Amino acid sequence: MAVPIDNAAPTLASLGLSPARPLVLVDVDEVLGLFMQGFGDFLAGEGLEMRVEKFALFQNIYRPGAVEHLDIVEGRRLFDAFFRGHCDQIEPAPGAIAALNRLADHAEILILSNAPADAQALRTRWLQKHGMAHPLILNTGPKGPIAAGLTAQTLHPTAFVDDLLSNLDSVADHSPATATFQHVADLRLRPFAPRSEQHPRIDDWAELGAAIEAAVRR
């Protein structure tokens, strides 16, 4: 089940989730899926290249042989085109499927992804294809407000996983009782990704799954 972008938290019941169990909110790009790899393959088909030189997106897109990165406006156009027609072609992050399915034995799983509305059908199809048929919400902007609206519906422990510190900080601010974890799936991105002592950084999904389970079963 997918929910359109409107930044308002739906009820857990409307998503088929029980408020009588712990709740785990999980991002997709660079958490469950290898976005940079998939987007890079798409760019190659457009005659461009992805050079992972910093923890960024548009600043890593180049024309072959160019010294300056592609214009940001053009990068955004390509980003939208990727989500409109190709975002179901990314590979799952190693270990993510098995870890998520183990977590589902003990908690409700909700996918919370910042992506254009055009991605809804393809992103839902991608999750189902890879055995992660959990409810999906597409969000825009900071994830704290919608996460707070969701976690407030259960008295049980909650957890949130994302690659971006901005989203992790937002959830910590709006839902301080929620355990937050950072995960960066792409091996090339990991050395550039900023860290925070506030959010444990665990890039191995087997270890991450165990840490989430411990947090929501306390």
Q: What is the CATH number of the domain that holds 201?
A: 3.40.50.1000
Q: Does one domain contain both 123 and 195?
A: yes
User: Is 140 found in the same domain as 53?
Assistant: no
Instruction: Tell me what pLDDT residue 3 has.
Output: 42
Domains in the chain, number = 2
Question: What pLDDT shows up at residue 4?
Answer: 39
Element containing residue 139 per DSSP (H, E):
strand 136-139
Range of the domain at 53: 35-89
Same domain for 63 and 140? Answer: no
Instruction: Say if residues 9 and 150 touch (Cβ distance below 8 Å).
Output: yes
Q: Are 101 and 140 part of one and the same domain? A: yes
93: left (phi over 0), alpha (psi -120 to 50) or beta: beta
CB 113 within 8 A of CB 164: no
Per-residue pLDDT of the chain (218 residues; tens, 9 = 90+): 444 334 579 999 999 999 999 999 999 999 999 999 999 999 999 999 999 999 999 999 999 999 999 999 999 999 999 999 999 999 999 999 999 999 999 999 999 999 988 899 999 999 999 999 999 999 999 999 999 999 999 999 999 999 999 999 999 999 999 999 999 999 999 999 999 999 999 999 999 999 999 999 97
Same-domain check for residues 115 and 184? yes
The C-alpha atoms of residue 67 and residue 59 are separated, in whole angstroms, by: 11
Same domain assignment for residues 58 and 142: no
My answer on whether 43 and 96 are in the same domain is no
Instruction: Give the β-pairing of 61-62 and 179-182.
Output: unpaired
- What is the model's pTM? 0.94
